[in-house]
Copies of this chain bind each other. A is one copy, B any other.
Amino acid sequence: MAESKKAWGGRFSKPTSKQFEKFSESISFDARLYDADIRGSIAHATMLAECGLISKTDCSRIVRGLKAIRREIEAGTFEFREDREDIHMNVEAALVERSGDAGKKLHTARSRNDQVALDMRLWAIDEVAHVYGLLREAQAALVGLAEANVALIIPAYTHLQHAQPVLAAHSLLAYVEMFERDIGRLGNASCGMLVSPLGSGAVAGSGLPIDPDATARHLGLPEVAANSIDATGDRDFILEMAFALAMIAMHLSRWAEEWIIWSTEEFGFIELDDSVSTGSSMMPQKKNPDALELIRGKTARVYGNLVALLTLMKGLPPAYNRDLQEDKPPIFDSTDTVADSLAVAIEVIDSVRFRPDRIAQQLDRGHLDATSLADYLVLKGVPFREAHRLVGELVKDCLARDCRLGDLPLEAFQKRCGKICEDVYGFLGPENCVKRASGRASTSHRRVKAALRKWRKKLAG
């Protein structure tokens, strides 16, 4: 009977079924870990040599071999083989072919269990940095757009109904704040990644006199895992990253939703650039906000990936189980999806155009100054709850007359409340409302300009 040709096949009496081999391979998706894998192996070999577990010569051969393999992979000349299962075994087998016995020593005191845990960490650290950069760029694009439209007033909405007038810049800065929290979350996730699991072996550490602290040092990782059972079965850092990405996608979906609505015929607040819009195969007049819709839609897969990862880990017995191989496709997909979405979002923001004429039409609707009028009454000594009721009735008067609050004659005001004088008109109209806004978070010109300055400085730093 044919024997197993696998590196682990010593105790096996039969070769692996072809179908199962295809089902279980991961090289088709984990090849992207090659750089992390090779960096990890170089650090590991260096430590082995330092501890006297392999010779200096063997170590040099290994390092040279690994670097050559990396060059081949990057040149596209390396042959990845499905029957070698994963990136680890593909690299190791190629190394053995090149460096013989030296290569056979690389896996000393190591298991794929701690190796893949390391590879994923190294990979994730890089990707988080990439997404971080894109978030900063997106913030810069929003700040730029805000600066370019710094005096523009738009209606703010709650419940998608006209609420109060705000500066467009204030509205754009809301997303800058969201992305800032996203950056914080990436930072926290990143901290959790800076731990080297090497030395944990398969599950129980190694019986050989190794120095995991040295390996971590070679990799620039400030910490070493404290418990081998935990370290080999831990995917917390991947779930945290998947969650941080899901939050970014969620924020992007809120932004996309707003701008899809803003670019309807009915709102018409913005005009998207042709370069990020699409037409219809049937309707010749169409210009559709596909970029925004795709960003919104792709939130779905980023959520789905998080659910997949949570499901994967639910009830999984401790330490490594092969289920864990399934951690890769979802986190790879979430990372790529969010990065691409951010890149396109930046392009959309950079090329959008506000339409002040269309916006102006809406500022006259929906009694955006009603709250300002209630504030006026408060300043005149009317208890707020009473002021609220009075303004509600004045709004009803406007609805009956089909006019704005500012169009009501003074008598109409005074009929409802004798405390109202001529100075009431200084509280009405969008400009007056924005001018009067107060408090750190508010939409006043002063506050918004200060915020823009703060962000500009931060983004330059």
Q: Which of A2-10, A68-76, A121-129 contacts B (4 or more CB under 8 A)?
A: A2-10
- What residues of chain B lie closer than 8 Å to A164, measured between beta carbons? 202-204, 283
- What residues of chain B lie closer than 8 Å to A436, measured between beta carbons? 207
Bound: A229/B175 CA distance, A: 9
Choose from B161, B210, B288, B297 the contact partner of A158 (Cβ within 8 Å): B288
- Known contacts A204-B165, A257-B317; is-contact A326 B310 (Cβ 8 Å): no
Q: Which of A33-41, A132-140, A258-266, A407-415 contacts B (4 or more CB under 8 A)?
A: A258-266
Which partner residue on chain B sits nearest A237 by CB separation?
Answer: B181
Whether A108 pairs with B378 at a CB distance below 8 angstroms is yes
Whether A388 pairs with B204 at a CB distance below 8 angstroms is no
In chain A, residues 216-261, which have Cβ atoms closer than 8 Å to a Cβ of chain B? 224-234, 236, 239-240, 243, 246-247, 250, 253-258, 260-261
Distance from A121 Cβ to chain B, minimum over Cβ atoms (Å): 14
In chain A, residues 267-303, which have Cβ atoms closer than 8 Å to a Cβ of chain B? 267, 273-291, 293-294, 296-301, 303
Asked whether any CB of chain B lies closer than 8 Å to the CB of A65, the reply is no
Whether B205 pairs with A104 at a CB distance below 8 angstroms is no
Whether B437 pairs with A20 at a CB distance below 8 angstroms is no
- What residues of chain B lie closer than 8 Å to A451, measured between beta carbons? 226-227
A359-389 Cβ-contact flags toward B at 8 Å (1 or 0):
0001001111011111100110001111111
Asked whether any CB of chain B lies closer than 8 Å to the CB of A67, the reply is no
Whether B293 pairs with A304 at a CB distance below 8 angstroms is no
- What residues of chain B lie closer than 8 Å to A184, measured between beta carbons? 192
Choose from B200, B246, B281, B389 the contact partner of A112 (Cβ within 8 Å): B281
- What residues of chain B lie closer than 8 Å to A439, measured between beta carbons? 199-201, 205-206, 210-212, 228
Bound: A442/B297 CA distance, A: 27
- Known contacts A20-B347, A442-B205; is-contact A308 B319 (Cβ 8 Å): no
Most chain B CB atoms below 10 A, which of A103, A207, A437: A207
Distance from A211 Cβ to chain B, minimum over Cβ atoms (Å): 8
Bound: A280/B367 CA distance, A: 13
- What residues of chain B lie closer than 8 Å to A273, measured between beta carbons? 14
- Interface range, A side: 35 or more
Whether B343 pairs with A266 at a CB distance below 8 angstroms is no
Distance from A226 Cβ to chain B, minimum over Cβ atoms (Å): 6
Whether B19 pairs with A234 at a CB distance below 8 angstroms is no
Asked whether any CB of chain B lies closer than 8 Å to the CB of A344, the reply is yes
- What residues of chain B lie closer than 8 Å to A313, measured between beta carbons? 250, 254
- Known contacts A314-B250, A438-B210; is-contact A170 B300 (Cβ 8 Å): no
Choose from B9, B279, B291 the contact partner of A11 (Cβ within 8 Å): B279
Whether A301 pairs with B317 at a CB distance below 8 angstroms is no
A308-325 Cβ-contact flags toward B at 8 Å (1 or 0):
111111111111111111
Whether B163 pairs with A204 at a CB distance below 8 angstroms is yes
Bound: A165/B201 CA distance, A: 13
Asked whether any CB of chain B lies closer than 8 Å to the CB of A77, the reply is no
Whether A178 pairs with B234 at a CB distance below 8 angstroms is yes
- What residues of chain B lie closer than 8 Å to A265, measured between beta carbons? 155, 161-162, 362, 365-366
Asked whether any CB of chain B lies closer than 8 Å to the CB of A459, the reply is no
- What residues of chain B lie closer than 8 Å to A239, measured between beta carbons? 247, 250
Distance from A81 Cβ to chain B, minimum over Cβ atoms (Å): 16
Asked whether any CB of chain B lies closer than 8 Å to the CB of A111, the reply is yes
- What residues of chain B lie closer than 8 Å to A4, measured between beta carbons? 274, 279
- What residues of chain B lie closer than 8 Å to A158, measured between beta carbons? 113, 202-203, 232, 280, 283, 286, 288, 319-321
- What residues of chain B lie closer than 8 Å to A372, measured between beta carbons? 207
User: Please, could you name 17 A-B residue pairs with CB atoms under 8 Å apart, sorted by A?
Assistant: A7-B388, A8-B286, A8-B388, A11-B286, A13-B274, A24-B278, A112-B281, A157-B318, A158-B280, A164-B283, A166-B204, A200-B439, A205-B441, A212-B441, A226-B441, A282-B388, A294-B325
Closest 10 CB pairs of A and B: A10-B392, A205-B442, A304-B308, A8-B279, A297-B323, A111-B282, A104-B383, A284-B391, A285-B370, A293-B322
Other than the given A199-B439, A303-B310, 15 more pairs (CB < 8 A) read A4-B274, A6-B278, A7-B388, A10-B392, A23-B294, A105-B384, A205-B439, A207-B436, A210-B439, A285-B366, A285-B368, A285-B395, A303-B311, A304-B330, A310-B311
